[in-house]
Amino acid sequence: MSETTGDTPLAQPDPIPAPTGIVVGIDGSEQSHYALKWAAREAHRRGRPLHLVTAYTVPIFAASGLDGGYATVDDDVIRQGAEAVLREAAATIADFDITVDARVENGDAAGVLIEQSETAELLVFGSRGRGGFIGRMLGSVSSALPAHSTCPTVVVPLKCAPRIDAEIPDGTMGAAPGATKIADVENVVSVGVDGSEHARLAVLVAAEQAQRDGRRLRVICAVQPYTGSLAWMPAPVDREELFAEIRAQLDAGEAWLRSHFPRLEMIVDLIEGAPVEVLSEASRTSKLLVVGTRGRGGFAGMLLGSTTDGVLHHAKGPVMVVRNHEDPRLEDRAGFGPALQA
């Protein structure tokens, strides 16, 4: 692990090299603490460097009274506070056998992290943070980053803190002395699909993650249940036919995926239920849930952009959001049979 602590300010090489491994946003909050621990374990599993980043802006206060004007807080004081937060964060993961560096950036937190994502392999942050004098590092930032980051992002909700505390660096649950066993968490990576290109890209990334970590892949297609809002559907038998059609298309998609990941253990589930609820529940029992940034609708309101946003707000475990990008493996999908269509 590289040296990042001490009594002197953190080293800031000039120019600072662009991050090429895993970047984690730090703001001193409990949320970012668990995002850091998850990111450190992921860096250990991937054998990649970990970059700790915090950002701040210098606040300007309007003066009141007879002498009008504006006052600013000393930039050095704020920067020293930010560096102290990073030193504390680095000390938290000192036992991990990974390369770590830390940097303080002056600027809007969302903009800083989005810029970091241009060269990073993965961007990790907590579901929300306290902001404070360092700036709104998380919070609204955690809503902006999945939509604008160049690389995949992972949001780590505070709800999954017990499972993170129970893991050791290799991802084994409850193996550390005195650790609490989290029985419900399965050795599986889950991914939501809806027939969109975004979802197919998410499936490929999820399969890569599962294969790299030695885990099973669970592909989930959730279809909105029959309610008054779907009264336009002609008859229950038509819905049964619809499910049969979707299953046939999912089988074709599974055959395509197996052609690229022949040794990966996978299951494909077609579930009747509200997508946000189905995927949020899947996050509770999965090591990782993967979703695309948005879909095109799919059958009866399956995975939509709003669904991804809803999952991020209600997830009970880490959620990876995969941005749209080019992947040559999509070109042979048509050769395996009918595909889900919006």
For every residue of 206-236, DSSP letters joined together read: HHHHHHHHT-EEEEEEEEPPP-GGGTTS--H
Write down the pLDDT at residue 230.
Answer: 54
CATH 3.40.50.620: does it fit domain 22-60+70-166? yes
C-alpha distances out from residue 50 to 3, 53, 261, Å: 13, 10, 28
Q: Which residues does residue 55 pair with via DSSP β-bridges, in sequence order?
A: 105
Looking at beta carbons, which pairs linking 80-83 to residues 24 or more positions away fall under 8 Å? Answer: 80/9, 81/133, 81/134, 82/54, 82/56, 82/134, 83/9, 83/10
Q: How far apart are CA 104 and CA 235, in angstroms?
A: 60
The tokens describing 229, both together, are: 């809002």
pLDDT number for residue 61: 57
pTM: 0.84
Tokens of 76: 């050095």
Are the beta carbons of 199 and 207 closer than 8 angstroms?
no
Q: What are phi and psi of 255, to 5 degrees?
A: -60, -40
pLDDT given for residue 201 in this prediction: 94
Task: For the domain made up of 188-336, give the CATH fold.
Answer: Rossmann fold (3.40.50)
Report the pLDDT value the prediction gives residue 168, as an integer from 0 to 100. Answer: 63
Work out the percent of the chain whose per-residue pLDDT is above 70: 73
Residue with tokens 């294969």: 211
Residue ranges, the chain, pLDDT below 50: 1-9, 11-13, 71, 129-139, 174-180, 237, 295-304
Q: What is the pLDDT of residue 74?
A: 66
Q: Are strands 153-156 and 319-322 parallel, antiparallel or unpaired?
A: antiparallel
Give the pLDDT of residue 231: 56
Fold match flag (22-60+70-166 vs 188-336): yes
Q: What ranges do the domains of the chain cover?
A: 22-60+70-166, 188-336
- Please state, in angstroms and rounded to a whole number, the distance separating the CA atoms of residues 183 and 304: 31
Find the largest Cα–Cα distance for the chain. 78
Helices (H), the chain: 30-46, 75-92, 109-116, 140-148, 161-166, 197-213, 236-260, 275-285, 305-314
| pLDDT per residue as tens digits for the range 174-212 | 444 444 456 689 999 999 998 888 899 999 999 999 999
Q: What is the pLDDT of residue 56?
A: 82
**pLDDT confidence of residue 4:** 44
Q: What is the pLDDT of residue 84?
A: 93
